[in-house]
Amino acid sequence: MNRNTIYILVIIGFLILLNTGFIIAQQDETAGQTAAPTASDVQWLWGDVVSVDIPNKSFVVKYLDYDTDIEKEISINVDEQTAFENIKSLEEINPKDTVSIDYVVSADGKNIAKNISVEKVEDEGALPAPETEVIPEKVGSEPK
């Protein structure tokens, strides 16, 4: 090999090692930092309420994990920033209610609800009665 090729290879190797050092230094700086949950960290689930623990401001939901097709249970906590739809507070949630929940996982591992929507079942008695079918008579025809 000629000298120019050796110099070029040495410079390329030096640049690769230099770049690797910068990457490792950046990883060390961010390793101990924990960021607050952001909007991109919000997760969603839909399921049935199993139990409600009002003193601890939490409830358990049974849901289907779509990745594994296995029913699982998760404990959800409520705080002062939780928004409610179709209800006013945690006290109105009952076992067997169907809920849709947007939540984040806090730094200490708790699932904190950001929004809870309880699906209300329509009262069957409020539905209108089905109409009976009316068959029109033919105009101009006489009975035989």
Query: What is the topology classification, in CATH, of domain 39-121?
Result: OB fold (Dihydrolipoamide Acetyltransferase, E2P) (2.40.50)
pLDDT, averaged in runs of 10, over the chain (144 residues): 81 76 60 55 94 96 93 96 94 95 94 94 58 62 58
pLDDT at position 121 is: 72
Partnered with residue 49 across adjacent β-strands are: 61
102 three-state secondary structure? strand
Give the integer Cα–Cα distance in Å for 53 and 32: 34
**What is the DSSP-derived secondary structure letter of residue 57?**
T
Sequence ranges of the domains in the chain: 39-121
pLDDT at position 10 is: 82
pLDDT at position 101 is: 96
pLDDT at position 128 is: 57
pLDDT at position 43 is: 93
Q: Beta strand 43-53 with 98-105: parallel, antiparallel or unpaired?
A: antiparallel
- Give the residue among 37, 41, 99, 40 at the shortest CA–CA distance from 74: 99
Q: Are 81 and 25 in contact (CB under 8 A)?
A: no
Q: What angle do CA 123, 125, 131 make, to 5 degrees?
A: 125
Give the integer Cα–Cα distance in Å for 116 and 61: 12
